[in-house]
Chains A and B, each alone.
Chain A
Amino acid sequence: MADPHHLAPTARLNLRAIRLASSSGGIKEARVDRKDLSLANVRNTARPLSPHLGIYTWGPHMAVSILHRATGSGMATVGTGLFVWWLVALAYGPDAYATFLDVFTLSNGKLNILGYIVGIGMSLSFFQHMASGVRHLFLDAGANFELRGNKRSALTTFAVSILATAIFWVVLLEKANG
């Protein structure tokens, strides 16, 4: 192995980091040879690379991030449209409200397929956006950036949104059928 004092400063630092990691049993395979050291190009293969597109893999934190945008944009457009349609139909009177209900219900008053898709889609979107929004409030405060905790809170948002949506629909359907 090369004498560290003949190396460039960055390579010396990397070598030291590898030695520390090796002594603590933190890495399995450290690629260190003369050529790499002389180019100051030592890479500890146990450490993550920065996310170039070629090695990008999905994780819960990425899914939560893009879902926050997707659910927010969905509710802002589809959700707002439904909400305003609902209010304006009520303001117009019984006939307009009957037309509104008719789009989403069967003749016996229960929800049709569209009613279920829109209803479950919007409620799941809201609870997912809500849970991940609360997670964002902690991230904004500088908390929850540790890898394990960050992943766990990302997974928690899925659990919360699915559970809350299930409870909401159990309450609704119990009333409709009971």
Chain B
Amino acid sequence: MGNGTQLGRVRGLGSAHEGAGEWWKHKVSAGSNLLLVLWLIVSIALLPAYDYATMVAWIGQPLVAVPLILLVLSVTFHFRHGLQVVIEDYQHNETRFVLIVLLEYFTITVRVLAIFAILKIAFTSVGVAA
């Protein structure tokens, strides 16, 4: 192992710099997950019913739709990083590469699908508060 290249030193890209950045973003998303998922669980527990009309009216409110979208962004970011660490720990070579690419596709797909669904519900619901 050498001491890295001069270019690498100028950019400050030793393993600690890059690794710590990913680690820190994972912690920040853990903090927002804590708040947002607790909000979702408490909200769901307090809803009067779970029929279609109640759910759509609830999600249609701006102060429900927006936290839900934030939750989708925070949770997908967090699990994308977490699952990558799990894959890197247990899989090697080609399998690791393929799984990480699939994870990337999976993350982006569910993120867009969930946000589109929330927006569609919000923009088409009648807007009666639950």
A-side interface residues toward B, CB under 8 Å?
Answer: 69, 72-73, 75-76, 80, 83-84, 87-88, 90-91, 93-94, 97-98, 101, 123, 126, 130, 133-134, 136-137, 140, 168, 171-172, 175
Instruction: State whether A87 and B45 are in contact (beta carbons under 8 Å apart), knowing that A73-B83, A140-B27 are contacts in the complex.
Output: no
* Listed stretches B9-17, B92-100, B108-116; interface member: B108-116
Report whether B30 and A133 are in contact in the complex, using a CB–CB cutoff of 8 Å: yes
Which residues of A have CB within 8 Å of B25?
A: none
The listed residue (A87, A97, A136) touching B118 by CB distance below 8 A is: A87
Q: Check if B64 is an interface residue, CB within 8 A of chain A.
A: no
Chain B residues 10-56 with CB under 8 Å of chain A are 27, 30, 34, 37-38, 41, 45-46, 48, 50, 52, 55-56
Q: Closest chain A residue to B103 by CB distance?
A: A76
**Using a Cβ cutoff of 8 Å, how many contacts connect chains A and B?**
65
- In-complex Cβ contact of A76 among B30, B37, B50, B83 (8 A): B83
Q: In the complex, which of the residues A75, A87, A140 contacts B117, with contact meaning CB atoms closer than 8 Å? A: A87
Contact across chains for A97 and B52 when beta carbons are under 8 A apart: yes
Closest beta carbon of chain B to A10's beta carbon, Å: 28
B83 to A90, Cβ gap below 8 A? no
* B62 adjacent to chain A (CB < 8 Å): no
- The reply to whether A133 and B34 contact each other, CB–CB distance below 8 Å, is yes
Task: Please indicate which of the listed interface residues B27, B52, B113, B116 has the most CB atoms of chain A within 10 Å of its own CB.
Answer: B52
4 additional A-B pairs beyond A76-B79, A136-B30, beta carbons within 8 Å, are A87-B118, A130-B38, A137-B27, A171-B46
Contact A72 B79 (CB under 8 A): yes
Alpha-carbon gap, A69 to B90, bound state (A): 12
Complex contact B110–A90 (CB within 8 A): no
Q: Which chain B residue shows the least CB distance to A94?
A: B52
Interface size for B (C-beta < 8 A) is: 28
Query: A72 vs B114: C-alpha distance in the bound complex, in angstroms?
Result: 19
Pairwise interchain contact B52-A91, C-beta atoms closer than 8 A: no
Q: Are A90 and B113 in contact (CB under 8 A)?
A: no
> How far, in whole Å, are A5 and B7 apart by their CA atoms in the complex?
52
Whether A87 contacts B52 by the Cβ 8 Å rule is no
Task: Collect the chain A residues with CB atoms within 8 Å of residue B79's CB.
Answer: 72, 75-76, 80
| Pair A90/B114 contact, Cβ less than 8 Å | no
A171 touches B121 (CB 8 A): no
Contact of B45 among A94, A101, A172 (CB under 8 A): A172
User: CB-nearest residue of chain B relative to A93?
Assistant: B52
8 shortest interchain CB distances as A-B pairs:
A76-B79, A87-B117, A91-B117, A91-B120, A94-B52, A171-B45, A97-B52, A88-B117
B82 touching A87, Cβ below 8 Å:
no
**Residue B73 lies at the interface, judged by CB distance under 8 Å to chain A:** no
The interface residues of chain B lying within 8 Å CB-to-CB of A75 are 79
B74 vs chain A, min Cβ distance (A): 13
